[in-house]
Structure 1
Amino acid sequence: MTDGADTAAPDCRTVLERLHAHYGPLHWWPAETAFEVMVGAVLTQNTAWSNVERALAALREADALTPAGMAALEPEELAERIRPSGYYNVKAGRLRHLLAFLERTGGIEALSALETGALREALLEVKGIGPETADDIVLYAFHRPVFVVDAYTRRLFERLGRPHARDGYETLRASVEAELGADTVAFNELHALIVEHGKQRCRPRPLCDGCPLGDRCYGVVTG
C-alpha cells in the first residue's frame, strides 16, 4: 500500500493484467446453459456464491434448470429448492417473473437476436432485476460487451483512486466500458477477478501484504 501522493490511478487494462497474473484465468460464470446463468444471477443477490451452488444443485436434482422444468414446480417447491440462497420466497417470485418474461418474449433464442442495449432494457423491465443482475445476464448468458459493477468494484476502484468510484451505477459502468472498448472477454475476466480479489484480499479490512495492486493503492477507504 502506498500513501498515494505520487500515484496515478491505474487504468482498467493494468488492473486486469495484474489481477490475471496473480489469480490466473477464472473462466466465470460457472454454468452449463444461458438459463442457468439467468437463474444464478437472481439467486446470487445478497448472498455468497456457495449458497447459490447449493440452490442450483437442488434445482438440478428436480430437473428444474430449464424454463419448462422450473415452470412445472409448484411455487412452494420452487421456494424450498432455493432456500439455501436466502430470501427464498422473494427470489422464487423473481424467478417466476423471469419465466413469464421468457415466455412473453419468445425465450432465450429470441432474446439473443436483440441488440445489446435493447436486451438490457428488456431485462430491466422484469420485476426484481436491477442493473447489476441485468448486466450479469447480458454479459455471461448472452456474451455481450457490458461491464458488471458490484460492491467489490466500488471498493477496489475507490482504494485505487480511480475516477467515478462513488458515482452512480451507469456512470461507473460506462467509464470502464469506455476504457476497454467492446471487449466481452476483458469485461468477463475483469469482473470475475475483481470479485476474487475482493474475497481474498480487498476486504473491508484488507489483507495488503503481497497485494498485486499494492503499489497503486491509496489505502483503506472509510465510509
Structure 2
Amino acid sequence: MSESLRKRLLDIYGRLYSRYGPQYWWPGDGAFEVIIGAILTQAASWDNVDKALANLKAKWLLEPVALRAVDQDELANVIRTSIYFNAKAQKVKAFVQHLGEHYNDDLRALLGKDTHNLRQELLSIYGIGNETADDIVLYAAHKPIFVIDAYTRRILGRLSINPTRDTYDSYQAIFMENLSHDVSLFNEYHALLDRHGSETCRKVKPTCAECCLLDLCPTGARNVMSV
C-alpha cells in the first residue's frame, strides 16, 4: 500500500461525494434485476437499459424460467433499447441457462460464493467480462471489489494516476491495494466516478473550470490555461 496514494484516492472520493452526494447505486429491484441490468448496460446508457428492463417487466420476463423459455429473437426485440440487443439477448440467455443448470435458479447459492470463486465463475459464462462480472460481485452479491470502466480510466489518466500496465487488473489494483475493502466505499466511489465522467470529465469538451478536482489535475490545469 502507498500511503500517499491512499490519501490521494480518499481526497478524490471526498471531493466527489461533496460535489454530487450519494448516488444510491445500483438501481434495481433485487439481485436478479441487478444482474440483468449489468449485462444490458454494456456499451449502453442507463436510460436505455432502464427502458429495456421496464419492457421485460411489462411482459413478465424478468425471471429465470421466463427468460429461458422466451424465443431469443423475441427477447432481443424486447430489449432493443439497450443497443446490441441481439448479442445481449444471447448473453442473458447464457446466464439464466447457467443459473438453471448449476443452481436450479437458486441465485443466493451462486452469489454466496467467496469473491474470487464467484468472479471466476461469472467470467466463465458467455458474454460476461471483467466489468460486468465485477458489477455483479459488487452490486448484486455485495462483495468488495472495485469496478473499472471507461470513466474511471479517463479520470485516472487525466489525474496522472497511472497503473503499472494498461490492463483492467492493473487499474483495479490501484484501488484494491490502496483502499480498505469496504463494499459501501467501493459502491459509492465507482458510482461517483461515473457521475463525474458523464457530467464534468467528459471525453470531449470536459468542463474543467467547474471541476472539483481541478487543483489535482494536470490535464485540467492545461485545459483551463489554454482557454
How does the TM-score come out when normalised to structure 2? 0.90
Distance 2:25 2:146 in 1: 13
| Alignment partner of 1:216 is 2:212 | no
- Name 1:64's counterpart in structure 2: 61
Which AA in structure 2 matches 1:136?
A: D
Return the offset for 1:166: 5.9
Q: Which stretches in structure 2 are left out of the alignment for 5+ residues? A: 223-227
2:43 equivalent in structure 1: 46
2:206 is aligned to: 206
Uncovered stretches (5+) of structure 1, i.e. residues with no partner: 1-7
- Alpha-carbon distance in structure 1 between the residues aligned to 2:51 and 2:219: 35
Aligned length: 215
What's the offset of the Cα at 1:178?
1.4
Instruction: Name the CA distance, whole Å, in 2 between partners of 1:161 and 1:198.
Output: 15
Ranges of 4+ aligned residues in structure 1 off by more than 4 Å: none
Q: Distance in 2 between matches of 1:88 and 1:169?
A: 25
User: Per the alignment, in what secondary structure is the counterpart of residue 52 of structure 1?
Assistant: helix
Q: Is the 8 A contact 1:55 1:85 kept in 2?
A: yes
Task: Note if contact 1:148-1:173 (Cα within 8 Å) is conserved in structure 2.
Answer: yes
Distance 1:166 1:214, change over 3 A: farther
RMSD: 1.8
Indicate if the aligned counterparts of 1:139 and 1:145 stay in contact, CA closer than 8 A: yes
Residue 34 of structure 2 aligns with which residue?
Answer: 37
In structure 1, the partner of 2:93 is 96
Provide the residue aligned with 1:76 in structure 2.
Answer: 73
- 1:101 Cα deviation (Å)? 1.3
- Bigger helix fraction: 2
The residue that corresponds to 2:133 in the other structure is 134
Partner residue, 1:185: 184
Question: Partner amino acid for 1:88?
Answer: F
Q: AA paired with 1:142?
A: A
Deviation at 1:167, TM superposition (A): 2.2
TM-score by length of 1: 0.91
SS of the residue corresponding to residue 219 of structure 1 reads: helix
1:188 partner letter: N
TM-superposed deviation, 1:165: 7.9
Report if aligned partners of 1:154, 1:166 keep a CA contact under 8 Å in 2. Answer: no
* CA distance in structure 2 between the aligned counterparts of 1:82 and 1:157, rounded to whole angstroms: 33
